[in-house]
Structure formats: structure tokens, C-alpha cells
Amino acid sequence: MESMMAEQHSLLLNSARLFPLPHGMIFSYGTAGFRADGSKLLSTVFRAGVLAALRSLRTGSTVGLMITASHNPIGDNGIKIADPDGGMMTQDWEPSAEALANAPDPQSFVELVFSFAKEEGISLGGERSAEILLGRDTRPTGEALLQAAKQGIEAIVGSVALDMGVVTTPQLHWMVRRKNMGVRTSENDYFMQLSESFRCLMNLCPKGIETNGSIDSRLIVDGANGVGGDKLEQLKKLLLGLNIQVRNSSKHGQGILNEGVGADYVQKGRVSPCCFGPKDIGLRCASFDGDADRLVYFRISEANSNSIDLVDGDKILSLFALFMKEQLQILNKSDSQGLNDVLISRVGVVQTAYANGASTDYLKKLGLEVAVTPTGVKYLHKKAAEYDIGFYFEANGHGTILFSEDFLIKLQGKSNDLAFSNAGSESHKAALRLLAVSKLINQAVGDALSGLLLVEAVLQYMGWSLQNWIELYDDLPSRQLKVKVADRSAVITTNAETQVLQPYGLQEAIDFETGKYHRGRCFVRPSGTEDIIRVYAEASSQEAADSLARSVSHHVDRFLGFKTPHHLT
Ligand code: G16
């Protein structure tokens, strides 16, 4: 045993020496893992590899490591860690992840690893084995970082890294979840599951609507010059009933990842991405981010081809909520006539402070419980998992629908009963639709590919054009700004990030400005993925929202001593 420990110690120390901490850098575990200039991340990714191996040993299950900086510029990179259920790594481990990433030298890193393993009851030295699925997006620093992650994993005796190649973040999370369920995990399995459940939903569309020609089957998708466009090119070959054209896919090789393209650019700036213009007026368009875990829709505006009508995560959520509620009603209506047992379900929606006030009003009018969490999938996902059916979406396009295991078992049972007693009835079809949604929409994390297919299937079911969807409710005018500051950690917030605690006095200034505007709402928070403070403002007119955002940005400048001008994004 002692010699095994000694072997483990020296393997870890020798490997850690190959990845020294860059001078003067401090790494923080942000909204979605570590993120920084890709050339500075070798030690962080190596250490995250070690951490992932420890997580796998601790849970006795496969975990995942995704090398990506998602919506950030191409020069950045980062790492997201997936827990055995496919969700983000448990928040309990974040402080240790940060401590390991910042250990000043190899020796202290190794000491920390051993003491953390002891605290967590993990026995090092080869008694158990760990398995980690690795993936990366298309960034140029990805391959070198992936090798660093592998070396980190292999520095824990008995650990195995399986390289899944260039994948979207949601694909990797999906693979981890499936692996731990003991079912097939290949990319082909992923494509098959999506295409088959999509086909099933399309086949369950009411007859007549399917063929009435009111819905344009054309859809143009901006792939952010990243991995998502490439994967959609593959997936679309398996899809019937959709005419998808992919632009800005990394394989086309012309544009730069996330530069003037992608969901973040489109949603924050409310502008069309590169390669979209007047020729696309009136067409249904969608945009992914760099690792395809965000989805927004848009339409080139008729009045000005540089501006767009945006359909953001809030409206995707509202469309899904409306559809799902209708299916549950159909199902339970037959029950109230005494045909079957009522399928009790606790349905809830989770949003963040960025949710447009009009969307929250709409969801509440649908009779849904709406919860608010801080920004970050890790918070929203956890909350949504408390419901039988939990919807979560951030306005920026991150989101999914979670089904509890218990509910799915009951739903399957009910569908089987109906197939026997009332096959082909509306309630039977509603049960089948709900089951198909649970297979189509990624249960591990928000997924632009599966989200897009569900949007398309729901629009088809409703017989809705993009215009019908846009008219679901009118967004309150809003504006988001970024303010560069010397130290973003100086801003501390509370109440799901809607109130500033520090610096003292900033909240009073925000309240004062907000009070000047009809239906004014404004908050500021430090980004956990970029070195900036984000400012969000909402008001009854666009001019008022812009003006509120600007004046609050000036206060942020004033309080945090920033010298260069902030800019609209
Ligand atoms: C990540 C998180 C999202 C969050 C976004 C922005 O997205 O997964 O939940 O909304 O960062 O966070 P922040 O405002 O703190 O910068 P992504 O797409 O960049 O991985």
C-alpha cells in the first residue's frame, strides 16, 4: 500500500512539474468553470484533469471534461467539468477546484491533492479506477489543452481518459449521462436519438396543419464559425420535413469563431450575424454559440436589414411551456372524464434576473410557478430538477426541459394503458408527444441542436409562423452593456444578483436612476466568464432602457474607478 502511495505521489509530482503555473495569474472558477487566454491555461487544464479523476473516483462513475470557452473570443479557452448525471460539477467542489488551480508550485499542488482526497474519502494508489470522457471545441489551443487534461487524468493511477474528439458541449454532457446509465454513447447514437424523437413529434402533428403550407420549412442557422454548425450539417441528413441551410460553420473555414457571429453577438447586440442580409428578410433564422449550448432565433428586420427581430431564450421557454402545458391538459382532460388516473405533475419554470419582465408575466398567466436563480446553468438546472417537469432558460439562449424519473415512469405507464384502451386518441397522442420531447430535449444540459429541433416541431404542431411566435407577447424594451473595470470581484450582489451589496452606495445610485423611468428595472453583476461588469436595464421605451443602462454604467465606472469608456454589446 505504501509503495502504491509513493508511486502515486511521484507520478503526480513529476507530471505537475511539466505544467508550471503561469506567473502572476489567479484562476477563478466562474459561471461555468475556468476561462482565460488559451495560452495560459495548460496548468489549469492539467489540474482540472486531476480533479476530474478524483471526482470519478469519489462518485464511482464516469465524468466529463470539455475544453471550451463557449461564447468567448477565439483566443480564450476554458474547461467545463460534467458530473456523472451529465450536469455541471457539484458546486461543493468549486472551492477545491479553485485551490488546486492556484496552488503555487507542484509540491504544494500534490499536497493539496492528497489532503483533499483524504477529506473526501478517496483512496489514491490504484484500488479503484476512474473514467473521464474528454471533448473539445474547434479553438486552436484545444488540442494542446486536451493533451494537458489527459496527462492530468493519467497522473492519477488507474484513471482512463477517453477522447470523444471535437464535439459540442451538450454532446459531451449527454455522453457522460448515457455512459452512467449503461446505454450507448456514441455521436451516432446522439444523432439517432435526436432525429428519431424529432420524426416522432412531427408524425404526431395534427393532420392538415402539417400540409397547409403556412409554415416555411426553410431555416437558416448561424453556426458561430464553431462546432455546432458542423454537427448540424451531419444531423440534418437524418431529418425529414426541414430545409436547413447552415452558415458560418467552422468547416467552411472563412470566419473567426464568435467574431461578428453567434448567439451571444446576436442576442446582446440585437444585430444580424455575418453572412446574413437583405436576401434573408422574412426567413426564420437561428444562431448557436461557439460550443452550441445556446440557441436564439431571429428575423432580419424589413425596415433595416442590419437590425433584427430577436426571439431569445425567454421566448423559446414560453413556446415550450405553452406546448407542454397543452399536452398535459389534453392528457388530464380525458382523466377528468374518468377514463384514466389523473397524471399529477408539478411543473415549474426557472429564469434569471435577465428574463424579460414580459416573459415572466406571460409564464405566470399560463399558471406556471416561476423561480429565479443567479446566472449560470448550474443554478437553474439544480432548481429545475426539483419539479416533475422543470423548464429552465436564460435569456441568452441556454436552457432545456427536465423530466423527473418518477414522472417519466408514470407517463410511460399511462401511455401504455392508453395504447391498450384508447389507441390513437388525443390523450394517447399527447402522452406520446411528451415522451418524445423527453427523448429529444437534452436532459443533461441546454443544447442548441436539440432545442432547435423541438422549436421546429412545436411550430409545426401549432401551425405557427415566426411572426405568430414573436406575437406571443411583446418584450419590454431592454439594454445590456458591458463595463470594463479594474477588479470585477469588487462587485458583490445578493437576491439572485438583483441587488448590489458592495461597493457600498452603488445600489442607492442604481435605485435613484431606476426611479426616473416608467417600468424601470436595472441591475449590475460581475460576469463569471469575461473580465467585465454586466449592466441590464429594462423600461417602457427603448430610449428609456438605453438611457437607464448608460447612466448606471457611468455609476459603475465612477465606483470602480474605471478609466476607458464602456461599450454597447
Ligand atoms: C456560461 C454559463 C451560462 C451563463 C453565461 C454567461 O455560458 O453556462 O449559464 O449565462 O456563461 O455568464 P456571465 O454573465 O457570468 O458571463 P457559456 O455559453 O459562455 O458557457
- Are the folds of 218-311 and 314-447+454-470 the same? yes
C-beta of 301 in contact with ligand 1 (< 6 A): no
Is 24 annotated to bind a ligand? Reply is no
Please compute Rg for the chain using Cα positions: 24
Tell me if residue 28 is catalytic: no
Fold that domain 2-183 belongs to in CATH: Alpha-D-Glucose-1,6-Bisphosphate; Chain A, domain 3 (3.40.120)
Beta 284-288 vs 218-226: how paired, if at all?
Answer: parallel
For residue 290, give the ligand 1 atom closest to its CA: 18
Instruction: Cell numbers for 14, please give them.
Output: 513529476
C-beta of 488 in contact with ligand 1 (< 6 A): no
Is 163 annotated to bind a ligand? Reply is no
Closest residue by Cα to atom 17, ligand 1, is 70
Closest residue by Cα to atom 4, ligand 1, is 376
Instruction: Name the pLDDT band for 102 (thresholds 50, 70, 90).
Output: very high
- For residue 72, the CA-to-ligand 1 centroid distance in Å is 10
- For residue 267, the CA-to-ligand 1 centroid distance in Å is 13
Fold that domain 314-447+454-470 belongs to in CATH: Alpha-D-Glucose-1,6-Bisphosphate; Chain A, domain 3 (3.40.120)
CA distance 397 to 315: 9
Backbone CA torsion sign across 75, 148, 163, 377: negative
pLDDT by residue (tens digit) across 433-465? 999 999 999 999 999 999 999 999 999 999 999
**315 and 458 Cβ atoms separated by less than 8 Å:** no
C-beta of 87 in contact with ligand 1 (< 6 A): no
Residues found in the chain: 569
How far, CA to CA in Å, does 350 sit from each of 173, 269, 324? 20, 24, 15
Which of 15, 43, 56, 70 does the annotation list as catalytic?
70
Is 528 annotated to bind a ligand? Reply is yes
- For residue 32, the CA-to-ligand 1 centroid distance in Å is 6
Work out the mean pLDDT of the chain and round it to a whole number: 93
pLDDT at 208 over 60: no
Higher confidence at residue 302 or residue 256? 256
User: Ligand 1 test: best mutation among 77, 136, 375, most atoms within 8 Å of CB?
Assistant: 375
In this prediction, residues 134-145 reach a mean pLDDT of 98
C-beta of 169 in contact with ligand 1 (< 6 A): no
Per-residue model confidence (pLDDT) at position 254: 75
C-beta of 73 in contact with ligand 1 (< 6 A): no
In this prediction, residues 384-396 reach a mean pLDDT of 97
C-beta of 71 in contact with ligand 1 (< 6 A): yes
- For residue 145, the CA-to-ligand 1 centroid distance in Å is 21
C-beta of 538 in contact with ligand 1 (< 6 A): no
pLDDT at 339 over 50: no
Is 293 annotated to bind a ligand? Reply is yes
pTM exceeds 0.85 for this model = yes
Closest residue by Cα to atom 1, ligand 1, is 32
What is the DSSP code string of 156-172?
STTEEEEEEEE--HHHH
Per-residue model confidence (pLDDT) at position 406: 94
**459 and 533 Cβ atoms separated by less than 8 Å:** no
- In what helix (H) or strand (E) does residue 222 lie, and over which residues does it extend? strand 218-226
3-class SS of residue 195: helix
Query: What is the CATH code for 478-567?
Result: 3.30.310.50
CA distance 350 to 363: 10
Of 224, 506, 534, nearest to 352 (Cα)? 534
- For residue 183, the CA-to-ligand 1 centroid distance in Å is 30
C-beta of 241 in contact with ligand 1 (< 6 A): no
Is 433 annotated to bind a ligand? Reply is no
Residues 6+ apart with CB under 8 A from 119: none
- For residue 302, the CA-to-ligand 1 centroid distance in Å is 31
C-beta of 428 in contact with ligand 1 (< 6 A): no
C-beta of 31 in contact with ligand 1 (< 6 A): yes
Instruction: Name the pLDDT band for 341 (thresholds 50, 70, 90).
Output: low
- In what helix (H) or strand (E) does residue 268 lie, and over which residues does it extend? helix 263-269
3-class SS of residue 221: strand
Per-residue model confidence (pLDDT) at position 93: 98
What is the DSSP code string of 484-500?
--S-GGG-EEETTTTEE
C-beta of 280 in contact with ligand 1 (< 6 A): no
3-class SS of residue 21: coil
- Percent of the chain whose predicted confidence (pLDDT) is above 90: 87
Residue 467 burial (10 A CB sphere; 0-12, 13-18, 19+): exposed
Per-residue model confidence (pLDDT) at position 567: 45
CA distance 123 to 534: 43
For residue 264, give the ligand 1 atom closest to its CA: 18
Residue type, 288: F
- For residue 473, the CA-to-ligand 1 centroid distance in Å is 25
CA distance 293 to 68: 11
CA distance 236 to 242: 8
Largest CA distance in the chain: 75
User: Ligand 1 test: best mutation among 67, 529, 535, 536, most atoms within 8 Å of CB?
Assistant: 529
Q: What is the DSSP letter of 307?
A: B
pLDDT at 335 over 60: no
* Homologous superfamily of the 218-311 domain (CATH): Alpha-D-Glucose-1,6-Bisphosphate, subunit A, domain 3 (3.40.120.10)
For residue 378, give the ligand 1 atom closest to its CA: 9
For residue 293, give the ligand 1 atom closest to its CA: 18
pLDDT by residue (tens digit) across 497-546? 999 999 999 999 999 999 999 999 999 999 999 889 999 999 999 999 99
- For residue 169, the CA-to-ligand 1 centroid distance in Å is 13
In this prediction, residues 406-434 reach a mean pLDDT of 94
| Other beta carbons less than 10 A from residue 153's beta carbon | 26
In this prediction, residues 346-368 reach a mean pLDDT of 96
Q: Where are the domains of the chain?
A: 2-183, 218-311, 314-447+454-470, 478-567
How far, CA to CA in Å, does 106 sit from each of 8, 15, 51, 263, 410? 14, 9, 15, 39, 52
- For residue 530, the CA-to-ligand 1 centroid distance in Å is 9
Is 396 annotated to bind a ligand? Reply is yes
Q: Which of 76-90, 145-159, 209-223, 454-468 has the lowest mean pLDDT?
A: 209-223
Q: Which of 256-270, 293-307, 495-509 has the lowest mean pLDDT?
A: 293-307
C-beta of 453 in contact with ligand 1 (< 6 A): no
